[in-house]
Amino acid sequence: MKKIVLFSLLCTPLLSMPAFAIGDLLRGGMSGLKPSAAAAAAPAVDLEGFMVKATATNQLFMDSRNAIALALADKQTAAELKEKLKALASTTDPKEKQALVQAIDQSASQVIEQVNKDQAAASQRLSEADDMVKTNIKASFYNFALAAMQAKDLATDAQGVTSSLSNPTQVMKLGSRLTDIKTTVSEVLSIGKNASLALVEMPSLAKQAKIDLSLPTSSTAQAVQAQADFN
């Protein structure tokens, strides 16, 4: 049985909320008058281009994670998770959004963790599922893997952005965007670091359930659509 890192470090939605820490590397140094040697040596990164790609990757990972959790959860947990997702889609209050995001993340993380603790039971549920559920889970596993591959490709640029945040001038220029940028970098680095969950463990679960699963062969592949919305 493989021990996995909780998804709570992976799939926080892309809202203006406190960033998850990724260590001192992300704490922009305002005390110095010059950029650090690492920042000066780091290759320039297209910040706007990185943010577009990383935001899409993080969203794809989160959406596919939620879909997988809904498919593998017991009926009560799945029903509760659906209600939270519906509430998140309908609310416009930032504080309520943040609370729902955290609740969804916790619920989905617990489901995925339990699945990895008992893959035999999870694979049995999948093997007994109807064709629509199997079609959706195949799409979700595919997108889950695709997001992991994209995150791995973005790792170098993410480190470049991290290095740039030690430049006081850059930090001041970013202003209120700094928190969102830190959050996005943290998420994409975490996804890439834990890519085996999407690229190895979930495909193994599908194999045990005798589900014929295809995975993307390139990070530039297109995401696939499920036939029905899990939400």
| Tokens, residue 122 | 């999870």
Other residues' Cβ atoms within 10 Å of the Cβ of residue 86: 12
Q: Could you read off the pLDDT of 125-156 as tens digits, one per residue?
A: 899 888 888 999 999 999 999 999 999 999 99
Going from N- to C-terminal start, the domains of the chain cover 59-231
Q: Could you read off the pLDDT of 54-91 as tens digits, one per residue?
A: 999 999 999 999 999 999 998 899 999 999 999 999 99
The span from the CA of 168 to the CA of 131, in Å, is 55
Q: Could you read off the pLDDT of 13-56 as tens digits, one per residue?
A: 434 444 433 334 334 443 333 444 444 444 577 889 999 999 99
Start-end of H helices in the chain: 37-41, 47-72, 75-90, 94-117, 119-127, 131-164, 168-174, 178-193, 196, 202-208
Percentage of the chain surpassing pLDDT 90?
Answer: 51
Q: According to the model, what pLDDT value does residue 11 have?
A: 46
User: Taking CA 80 as the corner, what is the angle to CA 74 and CA 81, rounded to the nearest 5 degrees?
Assistant: 85
pTM above 0.85, yes or no: no
